[in-house]
Chain A
Amino acid sequence: MDALAQFISRAILQGTPLLYGATGEIITEKSGNLNLGIPGIMYIGAISGVIGGFFYQNESQSVSPLLAVIIPLLCCLFGSLLTSLLYCFLTVTLKANQNVTGLAITTFGVGFGNFFGGSLIKILKSDVPYLSLVKIAKAYKTTVFPFSDDMGSFGKMIFSHGFMVYLAIIIAVVAGIFLKRTRPGLHLRSVGENPATADAAGINVTLYKYLATSIGGMIAGLGGLFYIMDYSNGIWSNNGFGDRGWLAIAIVIFSIWKPSMSILSSYLFGALYILFNYINVPMTYIPLIQMLPYAVTIIVLIATSVRKKRENQPPHALGVTYFREER
Chain B
Amino acid sequence: MKNKKIKTHEPLFHISKRTDISRSKAIIIRVISLLAALVVCGIVTKIFTGDDPISIFKTIYLGAFGTGRTLVTIHEIAILLCVSLAVTPAFKMRFWNTGAEGQVLISCLSTAMCMFYLGGKVSDGVLILLMAVFAIAAGIIWAVIPAFFKAHWGTNETLFTLMMNYVAIQLIEFFLKIADKSGSNVVGPDLLTHGWFPKLFGTNYLLNIFIVAVITVLLYIYLNYSKHGYEISVVGESENTAKYIGINVKKVIIRTMALSGAICGVAGLLLVGGASHSIDSNLADGRGFTAIMVSWLAKFNPSTMILTSLLIVFLERGADEVSSKFGLNADFADILTGIILFFIIGCEFFINYKININHRKTNIKEEK
Contact = CB atoms under 8 A, between A and B. Distances in A.
B289 interface: yes
Contacts of A249: 159, 162
B290 interface: yes
A287 B163 CA distance: 15
B363 interface: no
A106 B289 CA distance: 10
Contact of B158 (A290, A319, A324): A319
Q: Which of A100, A119, A301, A323 has the most CB of B within 10 A?
A: A100
B214 interface: no
Contacts of B98: 36, 99, 103
Given A36-B98, A96-B348, A104-B345, A111 B334 contact: yes
Contacts of A301: 155-156, 159-160, 163
Interface string B134-152: 0000000000000001000
A107 B289 contact: yes
Contact of A110 (B158, B296, B331): B331
A118 B166 contact: no
A284 B173 CA distance: 9
Contacts of B328: 115, 118-119, 122-123
A88 interface: no
Contacts of B331: 110-115, 118, 238
Contacts of A237: none
Contact of B349 (A95, A107, A238, A306): A95
Interface in A268-303: 283-288, 290-291, 294-295, 297-298, 301-302
Contact of A97 (B17, B296, B339): B296
Interface string A233-254: 0000010000100100110010
B342 A90 contact: yes
B293 A111 contact: no
A108 B156 contact: no
B163 A250 contact: yes
B329 A323 contact: no
B292 interface: yes
Given A122-B327, A287-B173, A100 B158 contact: no
A314 B154 CA distance: 11
Interface string A114-146: 110111001100000000000000000000000
Nearest to A117: B329
Interface residues of A, number: 62
B57 interface: no
A94 B162 contact: no
A125 B164 CA distance: 43
B341 A123 contact: no
A67 interface: no
Contacts of B290: 107
B183 interface: yes
B96 A99 contact: yes
Contact of B334 (A89, A115, A290, A295): A115
B159 A287 contact: no
A2 interface: no
Given A103-B289, A107-B341, A305-B156, A286 B177 contact: yes
Interface string B13-48: 001110000000000000000000000000000001
Contact of B345 (A90, A106, A243): A90
A107 B334 contact: yes
A308 B155 CA distance: 10
Interface string B151-187: 0011110111011101100110110011000010000
A318 interface: yes
A243 B166 contact: yes
A326 interface: yes
List the 9 shortest-distance A-B pairs measured between CB atoms, nearest first: A111-B334, A108-B338, A118-B329, A287-B173, A291-B170, A94-B349, A114-B331, A305-B155, A104-B341
19 contacts: A89-B346, A97-B345, A99-B98, A100-B341, A103-B293, A107-B290, A107-B338, A111-B331, A114-B334, A250-B163, A253-B159, A283-B183, A287-B170, A291-B166, A294-B166, A294-B170, A301-B155, A305-B153, A306-B153
